[in-house]
Structure 1
Amino acid sequence: MRIGELSARTGASRRALRYYEEQGLLVPQREANGYREYGDDAPLVVDQITALLASGLNSDAIRRFLPCAQGPRPELQMCPDLRAHLQQRRDELNRQQRQLALQVDNLTAHLE
């Protein structure tokens, strides 16, 4: 399928699909005329990328852990280092959440 069809099937913009390609996350074949031709598994891969991005992983982490993804919402098999990476990311988000709560408290105190 071509990029327009993949975009329509997944809801991902053509620009996003090109970005995924640039990042090495999605690898289409090239036809003789230079058009991208995506395989039958491309919609699933795009759904996996989208879900992992929504989980807060960056492109580098997704490239590293995408082979662990299985299914459309992906259930992640614990590849080497995946659990540690996800725990580290969760801990970082918890730290940021605490920091933001302190900032909100400080701002509230100034407004009272």
Structure 2
Amino acid sequence: MLIGELSERTGVSRRLLRYYEDQGLLESSRSANGYRTYGQDTPRTVRHIRALLDMGLTTRTISSVLPCATGDESEPLELDMCPDLLATIRRELAELDARIDELQRNRGALAEQIGC
């Protein structure tokens, strides 16, 4: 399928699809006229990428996690929990917890300034 059809099927802009490809998350081939063509399973891959982004993962992390993503277009994302993936998720959770703690400290300091 061409990038326009992939964009319509997934609701993801052509620009983002090209970005995902640049990041190594999607693969395409070139037709004789130079157009990008994608395989029939690419909409599922895009759905997995979007779900992982919604979890707060970076495209860099997603590149290592994506091979563990399962499920078709109509199913919720599932991850096959291999040891490397489990370590990645634990690391991401620890980083999120640290950011939440920092934001709570910042909020407290700001609230103190206005007497809340």
TM-score category, normalised to shorter length: over 0.9
Structure 2 gap segments, 5+ residues each: none
Q: Name the aligned partner's letter for residue 13 of structure 2.
A: S
* TM-score after normalising by structure 2: 0.90
Q: Distance in 2 between matches of 1:36 and 1:92?
A: 37
Contact conserved, 1:4 with 1:14, CA < 8 A, in 2?
Answer: yes
The 5 A counterparts of 1:1-112 are 1-71=1-71, 72=73, 73-112=76-115
Contact kept in structure 2, 1:65 and 1:79, CA below 8 Å: no
**Identity value in percent:** 50
The 2-side partners of 1:37 and 1:50 are apart by 20
Shift of 1:78: 1.4
Distance in 1 separating the partners of 2:24 and 2:105: 39
Distance 1:38 1:79 in 2: 28
Task: Tell me the distance in 2 between the aligned counterparts of 1:5 and 1:40.
Answer: 11
Say which is worse superposed, 44-53 or 66-75, in terms of deviation.
66-75
Aligned partners of 1:66 and 1:90: how far apart in 2?
A: 17
Report how far residue 79 of structure 1 moved: 2.7
Q: Which runs of 5+ in 1 are unaligned?
A: none
Q: How many residues align?
A: 112
**CA positional deviation for 1:50:** 0.6
The CA distance in 2 between the partners of 1:65 and 1:109, in whole Å, is 41
Aligned to 2:67, the other structure's residue is in SS state helix
Aligned-partner residue type, residue 101 of structure 2: R
